[in-house]
């Protein structure tokens, strides 16, 4: 498991991920870098984004099934996308289970799918009727999970670090452009500090759809409705991500130096009296002992 980050913004949903995944059998598992961990899934009347972490071979197969099923479906409600992803994950799980004895206890299956070489997680992002959704699901339960109150989501081995950084640098109703910068910053922090996360960074955004609004018609006293704009998906090119990552590093180095100097000066000033008082106390104790 590596890292996926999802942020719901006022005008879009941002997904970002590192590019390292697990591939191979339990005995010969290997780390693979450069995996395309964010994909576009096209439905008959709309699109979604899906990011993957964990066992690359299995998650990749699940996404291919997800895409195939989606191409034949229309998004009719806010659960269509999540249910389709669930169907894909359940199909992958069923295929794997068919290779093993049918009488294996449920607990053994759960343990099997929690092993790093068998475990993966999908993060699915989409809009329906102007409302943003992010769901995560994995093969141990196959159930799409979300939080109605959360505006950011994390998945993978670096989730704890990512959650900490996101709490520090995000707030509700961010615009998608700054949220993309923060998401790239979070993934970069994971790559720099967590074993198992690797470059390059991947990022994409699904822009919020617009509802029809009244337009003036110069040829008529009656207005006309503008056509609604479907959610637009933009996968950031590697050059843009690299440039943003470089800027983040430069800003952080400068800010860290400045901030550290301010903190050191403030701490020295605030604690000066404490050490003076301590020195006086030590002298009094020594004087008392000498008597």
pLDDT digits 0-9 by tens, 40-81: 999 999 999 999 988 888 999 999 999 999 999 999 999 999
Q: Are residues 282 and 168 in the same domain?
A: no
Q: Are residues 287 and 153 in the same domain?
A: no
Average pLDDT of 275-282? 84
Q: Are residues 65 and 167 in the same domain?
A: yes
Residue 25 has pLDDT above 60, yes or no: no
**Global model pTM greater than 0.85:** no
Residue 8 has pLDDT above 80, yes or no: yes
The pLDDT assigned to 229 comes to: 57
Tokens representing residue 159 in the block: 């989730």
Q: Are residues 134 and 249 in the same domain?
A: no
Give the residue from 102, 110, 118, 197 showing the smallest Cα distance to 156: 197
Q: Are residues 54 and 187 in the same domain?
A: yes
Q: Are residues 66 and 186 in the same domain?
A: yes
Q: Are residues 39 and 149 in the same domain?
A: yes
Q: pLDDT per residue over 99-158, tens digit each? A: 887 777 777 777 887 787 788 899 999 999 889 999 999 998 899 999 888 999 999 889
User: Which percentage of the chain shows pLDDT scores above 70?
Assistant: 87
Q: Are residues 100 and 144 in the same domain?
A: yes
Q: How far is CA 8 from the centre of its chain?
A: 10
Domain of 22, CATH number, reads: 3.60.20.10
Q: Are residues 112 and 88 in the same domain?
A: yes
- In sequence order, the 6+-apart residues with CB closer than 8 A to the CB of 78 are 128, 129, 131, 133
User: Which percentage of the chain shows pLDDT scores above 90?
Assistant: 49
**Total tally of structural domains belonging to the chain:** 2
User: Pick from 236, 252, 272: which residue ends a domain?
Assistant: 236
Average pLDDT of 279-287? 83
Q: Are residues 170 and 256 in the same domain?
A: no
Q: Are residues 14 and 94 in the same domain?
A: yes
| 259 or 189, higher pLDDT | 189
Q: Are residues 109 and 208 in the same domain?
A: yes
Report the distance separating Cα 251 and Cα 245, nearest Å: 10
- Give the domain range for residue 23: 4-236
Q: What is the residue-averaged pLDDT of the chain?
A: 85
Q: How confident is the model at residue 262 (pLDDT cuts 50, 70, 90)?
A: confident
Residue 161 has pLDDT above 90, yes or no: yes
Give the residue from 127, 250, 260 showing the smallest Cα distance to 185: 250
């Amino acid at each position: 498991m590596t890292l996926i980050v999802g942020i719901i913004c006022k005008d879009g949903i941002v997904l970002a991920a590192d590019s390292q995944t697990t591939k191979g059998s339990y005995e010969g598992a290997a780390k693979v870098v450069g995996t395309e961990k964010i994909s576009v899934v096209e439905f008959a009347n709309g699109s979604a984004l899906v990011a993957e972490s964990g066992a690359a071979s299995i998650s990749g197969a699940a996404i291919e099934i997800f895409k195939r099923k989606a191409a034949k479906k229309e998004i009719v409600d806010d659960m269509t996308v999540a249910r389709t992803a669930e169907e894909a994950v359940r199909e992958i799980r069923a295929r794997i289970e068919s290779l093993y004895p049918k009488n294996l206890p449920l607990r053994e299956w759960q343990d099997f799918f929690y092993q790093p070489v068998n475990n993966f997680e999908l993060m699915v992002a989409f809009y329906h009727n102007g409302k943003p959704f992010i769901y995560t699901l994995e093969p141990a339960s196959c159930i799409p999970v979300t939080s109605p109150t959360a505006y950011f989501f994390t998945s993978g081995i670096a989730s704890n670090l990512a959650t900490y950084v996101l709490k520090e640098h995000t707030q509700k109703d961010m615009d998608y452009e700054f949220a993309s910068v923060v998401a790239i910053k979070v993934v970069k922090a994971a790559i720099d500090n967590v074993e198992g996360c690797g470059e390059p960074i991947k990022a994409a955004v699904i822009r919020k759809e617009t509802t029809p609004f009244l337009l003036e018609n110069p040829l008529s006293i009656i207005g006309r409705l503008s056509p609604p704009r479907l959610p637009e998906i933009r996968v950031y090119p590697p050059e843009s991500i690299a440039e943003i990552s470089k800027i983040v590093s430069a800003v952080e180095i400068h800010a860290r130096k400045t901030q550290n100097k301010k903190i050191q000066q403030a701490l020295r000033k605030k604690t000066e009296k404490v050490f003076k008082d301590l020195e006086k106390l030590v002298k009094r104790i020594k004087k008392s002992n000498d008597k």
